[in-house]
Amino acid sequence: MAQAERSAANEDLAQIRESVRALCAKFPGEYWRALDRERAYPTEFVAALTQAGFLAALIPEEYGGSGLSMTAAAAIMEEIQASGCNGAACHAQMYTMGTLLRHGSAAQKARWLPAIASGELRLQAFGVTEPTSGSDTLNLRTTAVREGDHYVINGQKIWTSRAEHSDLLLLLARTTPREAVTRRSDGLSVFLVDMRLAQGTGISISPIRTMMNHATTELFFDDLRVPAENLIGEEGQGFRYILSGMNAERILIAAECIGDAKWFIAKATGYAKERIVFGRPIGQNQGVQFPIARAYAQMRAAELMVGAAAALYEAGRECGAEANMAKLLAADASWAAADMCLQTHGGFGFAEEFDVERKFRETRLYQTAPISTNLILSYLAEHVLGLPRSY
């Protein structure tokens, strides 16, 4: 069994969780609030996670990573969120390299993975979404045309998060026109773009201000020249390579949502015990208790699905349905817990200093990204239940 797929049985999950919690304790609410106000990047937090090796959890030991299981990686992301921190600043460093690991050549892996594992190189930007095609990935318009030993890239991406804080970009672009392919999923290719070399010579990055602090951007490619050796795998097969990485992304983000839900539930429970109105703790009223209890039950159910998806993933088994359901259920659980927590806090939930409104904004994203809820439902309807294809 590959290192990255090792069974969780060999790992001390409790110890991993405790180490993550200890690290996160150094980055309390004040730290995140200050960044949120300025829409600034949590550089020190990301550096601390990198130094501790947490972001290299899924990179095999032979490339300098920790070679942990998906269960352990999910536990890391969950603990970050449950501590009130925001793993979205760097979660992609953990899983974007999966495309390179699974489909890259031996030479590409030897060249890039050790530096990604040490954090010397950041591969945490992932350029798939485009403004015109949106969820319809196969309709994307960015092109890569082969010219000698280079590909020339033209087009635009949107919502490429962390591009300003990444050295490398995993880019999906069209190498064969849609009309010229027989299978509609053919004709797209994946490139590892070294943005350090490309800035000012064919790539420009424009930040997008969003409702939460997410360092997301728009990218414009104007005759960007990428060495042909940076093509991952076979030309024209890129969509499959990207899809194969999506299960890992879904599971890890689902784990983050579980962490968020745990944070909201703990925060609401604590407040409901302390806040005295009408001469008794508000948590003594069943009207306040029941939404907290319901959020807890919903979170626990989603947590089981995240565990099931991670176990299938690390056993090397098909887990598309479970990974998608984990993401759907966990994102719903975190959003329900967020709403409950805000309501439990009354007016104070809206005050910045309680951190509830910040986490509320942050967790809302997962209804839409990295895949929106409707698209997951559509996947389940068509691929699991056999209902007719709708698009």
Ligand X SMILES: Cc1cc2nc3c(=O)[nH]c(=O)nc-3n(C[C@H](O)[C@H](O)[C@H](O)COP(=O)(O)OP(=O)(O)OC[C@H]3O[C@@H](n4cnc5c(N)ncnc54)[C@H](O)[C@@H]3O)c2cc1C
> CB 270 → ligand X: shortest distance, Å?
29
What is the number of residues in the chain? 391
> CB 375 → ligand X: shortest distance, Å?
5
| Contact map string, positions 136 to 165, toward ligand X, x by CB under 6 A | -----------------------xxx----
Crossing angle of the two packed helices 356-364 and 29-38, in degrees rounded to 10: 60
Q: Which residue of this chain has its Cβ atom nearest to ligand X in the complex? A: 134
220 binding ligand X? (CB under 6 A)? no
210 binding ligand X? (CB under 6 A)? yes
91 binding ligand X? (CB under 6 A)? no
Q: Which residue of the set 79, 249, 256, 357 is catalytic?
A: 249
- Residue 31 CB neighbours (<10 A): 15
- Which of 105/374 has CB closer to ligand X? 374
Q: Please tell me whether residue 192 adopts helix, strand or coil conformation.
A: strand
Task: Please calculate the CA angle 273-278-281 and round it to the nearest 5 degrees.
Answer: 5
> CB 121 → ligand X: shortest distance, Å?
17
Size of the site for ligand X (CB under 6 A): 22
Q: Answer yes or no: 249 catalytic.
A: yes
Strand partners, 224: 153
313 binding ligand X? (CB under 6 A)? no
> CB 8 → ligand X: shortest distance, Å?
28
- Residue 353 CB neighbours (<10 A): 11
- Which of 37/146 has CB closer to ligand X? 37
CA–CA gap between residue 28 and residue 142 (Å, rounded): 41
Task: Please calculate the CA angle 25-27-31 and round it to the nearest 5 degrees.
Answer: 145
Contact (CB, 8 A) for 157 and 174: no
Judged by CB under 6 A, the residue of 128, 192, 319, 340 near ligand X is 128
Question: CB under 8 Å to 206, separation ≥6 — which residues?
Answer: 217, 218, 219, 220
Q: Where along the sequence are the contacts to ligand X (CB under 6 A)? A: 126-129, 134-135, 159-161, 210, 214, 216, 365, 368-372, 374-375, 378, 391
Task: Write out the catalytic residue numbers.
Answer: 249
